[in-house]
Amino acid sequence: MEKLRTSIIKHQTPRKYISTIQGKLCFTEGILAYWLHQMKRKNRSKRKRAYRQERRKAYLKKMGRRLNLVESLTVPGSSFTRQDVEFLMSIEKGMSYDYTSITGNAEGRLAYIADSMTKYQQLDRDGYDNAIVCVIVSSKYPLAEAECREFQAKVRSFLKYEDIRFGTVQTDNDSKEVEVKLLLSKL
């Protein structure tokens, strides 16, 4: 039985995977992996089915991440509606950036994030044509209307897209810090 197994391995394994030490056949990791792979040979229809299943798994994972993103933008306390962000389910490509203000006081939080975005962040803006800007803020420390308008103007001048959607999500935490989620997408 051992002779048969050795013969099969010798004849079905490419020479670059076979190494001999003192006339004996040695199994390296590559030989063993190749041999195990050959033992699981499939015909064309089974390989095609396995390929389709792998692609379907990847697609469902991608759509699950997009659905979670849409649901996180439309939580209770959000100014976004489902119809505002439903297009995210059919985008060609997208990128997400998260920003957090680390200022100690409740003033200048969005100005800090706008400066961080425009001066220090290297965004790849060329491959995208629209954006969603979601500001997450505590209901105990709301934003001033003038601060929001100034932030929107800075972001619009920085991104230079025609379609930029702004929205806020109010949470019930005690944090003074503001979080901004910037989503760039291409339809």
Helix 2-12, helix 29-39: angle, nearest 10: 90
Give a yes or no: residue 83 inside a domain. yes
Give a yes or no: residue 30 inside a domain. no
Check if the beta carbon of residue 186 is closer than 8 Å to that of residue 101.
no
| C-alpha torsion angle, residues 136, 153, 70, 117 (rounded to 10) | -70
In terms of residue numbers, what domain contains 80? Answer: 74-186
User: What percent of the chain shows pLDDT beyond 70?
Assistant: 76
172-185 per-position pLDDT tens digit: 887 788 888 888 88
**Rounded CA separation 35/13 (Å):** 7
Amino acid (1-letter code) at residue 22: Q
Split into its structural domains, the chain has a count of 1
The structure's pTM equals 0.67
**Rounded CA separation 171/167 (Å):** 13
Give a yes or no: residue 33 inside a domain. no
Check if the beta carbon of residue 164 is closer than 8 Å to that of residue 76.
no
Give a yes or no: residue 48 inside a domain. no
Instruction: Provide mean pLDDT across the span 6-22.
Output: 61
pLDDT at 162 over 70: yes
**Rounded CA separation 146/90 (Å):** 34
- Name the band, by pLDDT with cuts 50, 70 and 90, for residue 21: very low
Q: What is the CATH number of the domain that holds 121?
A: 3.30.1330.20
75-107 per-position pLDDT tens digit: 887 888 888 888 888 888 888 888 888 776 667
Give a yes or no: residue 69 inside a domain. no
